């Protein structure tokens, strides 16, 4: 199936870093650094269509016009826990971004997401939201996070992950065809436990050393 909602950001630097991220021997500290670095490299593509406006500025030599991003500040929305690992990387390029949080975990049997926390800035309409989660597996968590944002009034949403399964991309297209999905890699499939193959294992556990 083709994925009209999907953009694979496969820059050589990203591919290189992803190879270390996937490797089982990569220790927690390095894993966290790689997640941040890849997220940062992906920000260029994830923000490519932000709208700019002309402003007048004074250089040391004369007045001129330049362009700045228009509108309210972008909102990053990491899906807890693993999405937290991408926040610093994105903020290093967009330091003025606001950060909301969506708490979801996958029920290990049903694989369905369970919401336990939701906090975003007021007046979501007219803001650009960038939802962050390293893994898009069944798509249940991403779809629920986006639905939660829409219920609260958000209209401009993008989803940024590092590794996606075709099943998750399809689910996002079915549930939210208006939401672009950007990933560093589109993997082969999900296994019977909902893990992405070949994937990188459990992103939250590898980020926070909980396994």
- Letter string b/e over residues 127-151, b meaning 16 or more CB atoms within 10 A of that residue's CB: bbbbbbbbbbbbbbbbbbbbebbbe
- Identify the residue among 81, 98, 101, 150 touching ligand PRP (CB under 6 A): 81
5 within 8 A of 184, measured Cβ to Cβ: no
**For ligand PRP, what does the binding mask look like between residues 4 and 43, x meaning CB under 6 A?**
----------------------------------------
196 binds, among ligand URA, ligand PRP, none (CB under 5 to 8 A by kind): ligand URA
Contact 198, 187 (CB under 8 A): yes
- Mask 98-127, x = binds ligand PRP (CB under 6 A)? -------xx----x-x--------------
199 binds, among ligand URA, ligand PRP, none (CB under 5 to 8 A by kind): ligand URA
* Closer residue to ligand PRP in complex, CB, 49/205: 205
Summarize as ranges the residues that interact with ligand URA (CB under 6 A): 82, 135, 137, 194-196, 199, 202-204
Question: What does the binding site for ligand PRP look like in residue numbers (CB under 6 A)?
Answer: 79-82, 105-106, 111, 113, 133-142, 168, 194, 203-204
């Amino acid at each position: 199936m083709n994925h009209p909602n999907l953009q694979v950001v496969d820059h050589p630097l990203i591919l290189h870093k992803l190879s270390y991220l996937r490797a089982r021997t990569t220790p927690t500290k390095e894993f966290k650094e790689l997640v941040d670095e890849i997220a940062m490299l992906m920000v260029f593509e994830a923000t490519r269509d932000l709208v700019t406006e002309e402003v007048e500025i004074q250089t040391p030599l004369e007045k001129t016009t330049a362009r700045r991003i228009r509108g309210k500040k972008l909102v990053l929305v990491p899906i807890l826990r693993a999405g937290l690992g991408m926040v610093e990387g994105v903020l290093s390029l967009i330091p003025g971004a606001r950060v909301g949080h969506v708490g979801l975990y996958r029920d290990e049997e049903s694989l369905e997401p369970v919401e336990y926390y939701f906090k975003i800035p007021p007046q979501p309409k007219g803001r650009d939201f960038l939802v962050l989660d390293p893994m898009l597996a069944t798509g249940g968590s991403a779809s629920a996070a986006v639905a939660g944002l829409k219920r609260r009034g958000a209209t401009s949403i993008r989803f940024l992950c590092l590794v996606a399964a075709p099943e998750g991309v399809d689910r996002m297209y079915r549930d939210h065809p208006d939401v672009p999905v950007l990933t560093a890699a589109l993997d082969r499939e999900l296994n019977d436990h909902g893990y992405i193959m070949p994937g990188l294992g459990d992103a939250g556990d590898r980020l926070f050393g909980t396994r």
